[in-house]
């Protein structure tokens, strides 16, 4: 269940390209420098985030040679705050940031904004409203509603399910509240909810406990694909895989592949992927490459992934 990182070219800070002014594209002849600051690839989801950042920057660089990209990765918030300050000192025009944590990054990003840097914030948001020019994030209430819809369809006569919560965060609360609300009146009953921290080992452990305690389980929502892979291992050890439907969430490559192959313990997933960095980078790049006004909020859907549409969500080279 270990994720192997691809060999990234990124160091602490990597200048991906510097094009001459003569290669400028479209109406806007000014080359712009876009700084990108993301968490380092320390686990699955952030591994995917780094992968998609790398390939998107490469694609934008090829498509729009007048743009210059600086990419920094940080394994903690204070490193990330320093990265932002360094990039501002280097004269970036725009900053695309997925904050490690909201609070410690708010002041450095606000300072960047005050110096005229265009701010694109991704996923976790900043602790103060109105700093970013463009926000790109997922749809967490929908994530819970889509999960509930899966179990309502699997169990039209009702049934008993167990749930794993994630890391205790605002995002987890929003998802779980929406999930419970969407199940109301459906006859689908939640036997128990324990924290599995979006983690495979913890998912395995929580599932073992559920299997001992509950003689009949119709469904498992593990909340996340890492936890779901742990739960899957526990269920298979118990030999009870025919008894229950298992759903994770977030669109891990390995789970998508299992859905596509149709014989791996999963028939669906919910999309909340590290690919949300892609439109964040692309829209910011095109602000400069094609003079596109892009202030606003971009909220990506979290649709259900099934065998029918799985190919569109599959990235064979991604670590996640």
Cα-based distances in Å from 68 to 32, 90, 164? 6, 12, 43
Our finding on whether 295 is near a copy of itself (CB under 8 A) is yes
Which lies closer to a copy of itself via its Cβ, residue 113 or residue 202? 113
Q: Which of 55, 79, 110, 254 binds a copy of itself (CB under 8 A)?
A: 55
Q: Which of 25, 104, 191, 243 binds a copy of itself (CB under 8 A)?
A: 25
User: How many residues at the interface with a copy of itself, by CB under 8 A?
Assistant: 36
Our finding on whether 296 is near a copy of itself (CB under 8 A) is yes
Residues 299-318 that bind a copy of itself (CB under 8 A): 299-301, 303, 312-313, 315, 317
Name the minimum Å distance from CB 229 to a copy of itself. 21
* Binding pattern for the stretch 81-120 against a copy of itself, x by CB under 8 A and - elsewhere: ----------------------------------------
Q: What is the DSSP string of the chain?
A: -PPPPP-----SEEE-----GGG--SS--S--EEEEEEE-S-SHHHHHHHHHHHHHHHHHHHH-TT-EEEEEEESSHHHHHHHHHHHHHTT-SEEEE--SSHHHHHHHHHHHHHTT-EEEEETT--SSTT--SEEEEE-HHHHHHHHHHHHHHH-TT-EEEEEEE-SSSHHHHHHHHHHHHHHTTSSEEEEEEEE-TT-HHHHHHHHHHHHHH-S---EEE-SSHHHHHHHHHHHHHHT-TTT-EEE--B--HHHHHHHHHT-SS-SEEEB--GGGHHHHHHHHHHHHHS-----EEEEE--PEEETTTGGGG--TT---
Residues 134-153 that bind a copy of itself (CB under 8 A): 139
Which lies closer to a copy of itself via its Cβ, residue 265 or residue 303? 303
Q: Which of 254, 286, 304, 306 binds a copy of itself (CB under 8 A)?
A: 286
Q: Which of 126, 275, 310, 320 binds a copy of itself (CB under 8 A)?
A: 275
Query: Of the listed pieces 4-12, 14-22, 181-189, 284-292, which binds a copy of itself according to CB under 8 A?
Result: 284-292
Residues 192-251 that bind a copy of itself (CB under 8 A): none
Q: Which of 278, 284, 310, 320 binds a copy of itself (CB under 8 A)?
A: 278
Binding residues for a copy of itself (CB under 8 A):
25-27, 55-56, 59, 62-64, 139, 271, 273, 275, 278-279, 282-283, 286, 289-301, 303, 312-313, 315, 317
């Amino acid at each position: 269940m270990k994720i192997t990182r691809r060999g990234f070219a990124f160091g602490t800070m990597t200048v991906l390209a510097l094009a001459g002014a003569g290669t400028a594209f479209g109406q806007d002849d000014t080359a712009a420098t876009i700084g990108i600051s993301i968490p380092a690839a320390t686990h699955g989801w952030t591994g995917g985030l780094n992968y998609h950042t790398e390939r998107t920057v490469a694609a934008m660089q090829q498509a729009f040679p007048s743009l210059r990209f600086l990419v920094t990765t940080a394994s903690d918030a204070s490193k990330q705050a320093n990265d932002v300050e360094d990039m501002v000192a280097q004269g970036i025009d725009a900053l695309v940031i997925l904050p490690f944590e909201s609070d410690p990054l708010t002041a450095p990003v606000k300072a960047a904004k005050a110096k005229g840097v265009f701010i694109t914030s991704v996923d976790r948001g900043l602790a103060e409203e109105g700093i970013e020019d463009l926000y790109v994030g997922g749809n967490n209430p929908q994530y819970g509603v889509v999960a509930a819809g899966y179990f309502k369809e699997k169990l039209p006569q009702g049934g008993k399910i167990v749930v794993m919560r994630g890391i205790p965060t605002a995002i987890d609360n929003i998802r779980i509240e929406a999930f419970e609300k969407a199940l109301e009146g459906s006859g689908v009953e939640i036997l128990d909810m324990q924290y599995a921290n979006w983690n495979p080992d913890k998912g395995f452990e929580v599932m073992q406990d559920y299997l001992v305690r509950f003689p009949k389980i119709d469904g498992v929502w593990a909340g996340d694909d890492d936890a779901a892979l742990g739960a899957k291992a526990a269920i298979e050890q118990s030999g009870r895989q025919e008894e229950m439907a298992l759903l994770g969430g977030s669109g891990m490559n390995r789970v998508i592949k299992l859905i596509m192959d149709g014989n791996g313990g999963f028939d669906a997933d919910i999309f909340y992927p590290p690919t949300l960095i892609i439109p964040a980078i692309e829209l910011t790049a095109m602000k400069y490459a094609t003079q596109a006004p892009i202030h606003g909020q971009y909220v990506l859907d979290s649709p259900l992934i099934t065998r029918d549409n799985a190919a569109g969500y599959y990235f064979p080279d991604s670590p996640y």
